[in-house]
Every structure is written in C-alpha cells, then in structure tokens.
Amino acid sequence: MPGRIPRTHLIYNFSMTDLPLAGRIALVTGGAVRLGRALALGLAARGANLALHYNSSETAAERTSEEIRALGRKCLLIGADLRQADSPGKIFAAVAAYYGRADILIHSAAVFERGTLEKTSPELWEKTLAINLRAPFFLSQAFASQTEKGDILFLADSRVRQPATEFLAYTLTKSALVTLTRSLAKSLAPRIRVNAVAPGAILPPPGEDEAYLQRLIPRIPLGRPGSPDDIVRGVVYLLEAPFVTGEVLHIDGGEYL
C-alpha cells in the first residue's frame, strides 16, 4: 500500500551506547511503506539490522533501505509476492544467506480493501486470506524452524472488536491473527514470544486523506488520532518485555472501549 507517512516524527536520538535492539536482526514484511516503514526505521534507530520485504513498492523499499543504512545499519531487500505459497521459504532462504538467521519477525504487510458480504469476490477473498493470514502463519513456521530464540509480532487491528461489515474479509483475517497470536504464544513458548499490536486511527487508508481520521475523533476517548510513532513505541515495548507473550496491545486512544 504505497504512500508516504504523514504526521510522524520518528525519534533517532539514541546514543551508540543505548541501542536496546543492537545486534538483533528483524524481518519486516511490507516494510517499504506506511506502518511497515515506520517500524523498520524505528527498529533500525534502536540498533537492529533489517531484512525488508516488499512486493510492488520497490522504489519506496530502496528509499527506506537508504534511510536505514544512513542510521548505520544493514538492510537486505527482499521482493516477494506473499500470495505465492512458496514465498515464506524463499524469504527466509534469502535471510539465511545474508544474515544467517533472523530473531525478530514483524508481519506488517496487509490487504485492506472494501468488500461487504455481497461485494466480496472470490479473488478478493483469496488475496486477503493469503496475505493477511496464510502468509503470517507460514512465515512464523519458517521463522521458528531457523531460530532458537526470538520474537514474532503481528499487526492486528483494534477495530475488529466492532466488526466493519464494509471490510468483511479484512476483518475476518485480522480477528484470526489475534487467535494465531495466542495459539503460537503457547506452542512456541518458552523459546519464542509471540505478541501483537492492534492499531486504531493511525493512518488514513489508501485513497483517503487526513479528513478521514478527523471524522473518527468523536469515538476516540483521547480525542485525537495517533501516529506511527505510537505503534513503534508499542512494538519496542513488546520486544523488550521478556515476561510478556500472547498479548494484544491496543494502541488506539481507547477507541476499542
């Protein structure tokens, strides 16, 4: 989902002696744009080296990788279509060839397309399930097979507690990610922790502008939209919290209430 990130002020003022993720290797899917880009840059600012997955956003991926390298980190670019069943294996083969392994997996890539019960086509259904659910499942499988210890983190959606009938396939997959988070947290413990963040009103959907977020303010208790910085901080907290697994952290200004 191409587009620049508005309203973000990612903080890069860490000293070289205060890099909480120094030495860690993070694979971020959908890492070229939007929240994936913010997360990739946020992890790099905190010391991590990156494997940056993208599909159609090659130019944006190259720009993001340049920013990561400017922070003094390594960045491996991996182009892959997550609709293809063999993509998880190919992605981790590339990571293994370059880094040896990854110890953080963040699944940010997602399809967010309008579709009611009546309007959801088989093509939209298959694409949404492939990218939003099948890919994170089999990426997690591949990740768990190549590391002894690490972290998996999914991007869910805070608003799946109040399902939107206009985005039915999307809502189903994000709801399933919550179940997958908890199931994998049990099955992969104690060597791999699995958590999720559930963003609320952070970025407008593709094709919308800031006015879209402003219309949501009346239902947000904190009275404003969030920013990508808020998601980065939540993810970093979960990566640094060794006694937390199976958690879904709502970052939505209280909207889910």
- What integer pLDDT is reported at residue 17 of this predicted model? 46
pLDDT digits (tens, 9 = 90+) for 11-59: 444 444 478 899 999 999 999 999 999 999 999 999 999 999 999 999 9
Q: What are phi and psi of 69, to 5 degrees?
A: -65, -30
Which SS3 state, helix, strand or coil, does residue 24 take? coil
Contact 107, 155 (CB under 8 A): yes
The pTM of the full predicted model, rounded to 2 decimals, is 0.91
Helices (H), 130-202: 135-146, 168-188
Q: Which residue has the higher pLDDT, 162 or 51?
A: 51
Residue 255, CA atoms < 13 Å, CB-side half-sphere: 27
CA distance 14 to 99: 24
CA distance 216 to 245: 31
What share of residues in the chain are helix, strand, coil (percent, to 5)? 40, 15, 40
Topology (CATH level 3) of domain 25-251: Rossmann fold (3.40.50)
User: Which tokens sit at 122?
Assistant: 């088989």
